[in-house]
Amino acid sequence: MLDLVGTELSAKEASLLQNPRVGGLILFSRNYVNPDQLKQLIASIRAVAPNIIIAVDQEGGRVQRFKDGFTRLPAMSALGKLYDTSPDEAIHAAHELGWLMALELRAFDVDISFAPVLDLDWQQSSVIGDRAFSSSAERVALLSGAFLKGMHEAGMAATGKHFPGHGWVQADSHLELPYDERLESAIRQDDLQPFASLIEEGLDAIMPAHVVYSQVDTAPAGFSSYWLKDVLRQELGFDGVIFSDDLTMEGASIAGDYALRCQKALAAGCDMVLVCNQPEAALQVLEYLGTLPELDNPRIAKMRGNPCVNRDSLREDAARAIAAKLCQ
């Protein structure tokens, strides 16, 4: 999965998207001006790569790439705070916000938003912080589970991140490699629980963290066959897609150059690797992938969105009112 430079698809990018080793495209704020421009951009992408997975980070709060013309979504911590006083209202709000977020994106043929965030807010990580639903594993599971059901209802697959939990470490893995030095038992007791819960509820995909859990493995989770194969696949029985986090992040640099990062992520168990914001890095990864035998991965095709059906203007208005209230 790679990205685009601007608001229109260039001829070079159109050619790149037709490479059989490119299976996904992630859009950022720089690719968005307004709904009409997005509609045209998506149409141009579909014209050359009709089955590509189009993704965006539309979590809410400070991580919402499309703003003008879209509902302003609250940070998910607002739902955790609402749960303190009104648990039923919070769960309903989570469901409706997941549905509305997915509904708005599916109307433009965007397949997935990389959501929900399943990390716990340990009051230590600035990069996670209010992106997390709560500091309580039980509440994160309940609220994110409702959010997931809303996404599914609107025809969108859900991606839980950042496995097995990014909320404890202070370092930002975009800028440096974080180390979580807790015992494995502590991670399993708390951070792992929302992932286990949502897997049982039909979570479609997972994105591992560029974090080293040093008492468990010397490699970050996204390059660790222990975390991805032994724990996630075998122990938790997860059969969905494993997306790597962006291989250009500093937290991935421990694995070597971009080709090596790709090689190690795939060997550890990732189905698709993300290479963003550095076109030359994407080309290096594609060159490496071209040396491998072509493999059919049926998991990835399941991430394509379903048709946007049963739009209900009254329900949309009510969901937007919930979002506006929680954004205050």
The whole-number pLDDT of residue 296 equals 78
pLDDT range class, residue 173, cuts 50, 70, 90: confident
- pTM score of the predicted model: 0.96
117: Cβ–Cβ under 8 A, 6 or more apart, which residues? 59, 76, 128, 131, 132, 133, 144, 160, 161, 162
The whole-number pLDDT of residue 32 equals 98
The whole-number pLDDT of residue 112 equals 98
Q: Which position among 3, 119, 121, 245 bears the catalytic label?
A: 245
The whole-number pLDDT of residue 205 equals 98
Tokens in use for 294? Answer: 């072509």
The whole-number pLDDT of residue 232 equals 98
pLDDT range class, residue 210, cuts 50, 70, 90: very high
Tokens in use for 55? Answer: 């993704």
The whole-number pLDDT of residue 164 equals 98
The burial class, CB within 10 Å (0-12 / 13-18 / 19+), for 210 is buried
Q: Which position among 174, 204, 246, 271 bears the catalytic label?
A: 174
In this predicted model, what pLDDT tens digit does every residue of 75-125 receive, in sequence order?
Answer: 999 999 999 999 999 999 999 999 999 999 999 999 999 999 999 999 998
The whole-number pLDDT of residue 200 equals 98
pLDDT, mean of residues 314-325? 98
Q: Is 174 a catalytic residue?
A: yes
Flag whether pLDDT at 219 surpasses 90.
yes
Helices (H) and strands (E) in the chain, counts: 12, 11
Query: What 8-state DSSP symbol labels residue 110?
Result: -
The burial class, CB within 10 Å (0-12 / 13-18 / 19+), for 234 is exposed
pLDDT, mean of residues 144-171? 96
The whole-number pLDDT of residue 175 equals 76
The whole-number pLDDT of residue 129 equals 95
The whole-number pLDDT of residue 308 equals 74
Q: Is 180 a catalytic residue?
A: no
Residue 208 near residue 244 (C-beta atoms within 8 A): yes
When the pLDDT of each residue in the chain is averaged and rounded to a whole number, the result is: 95
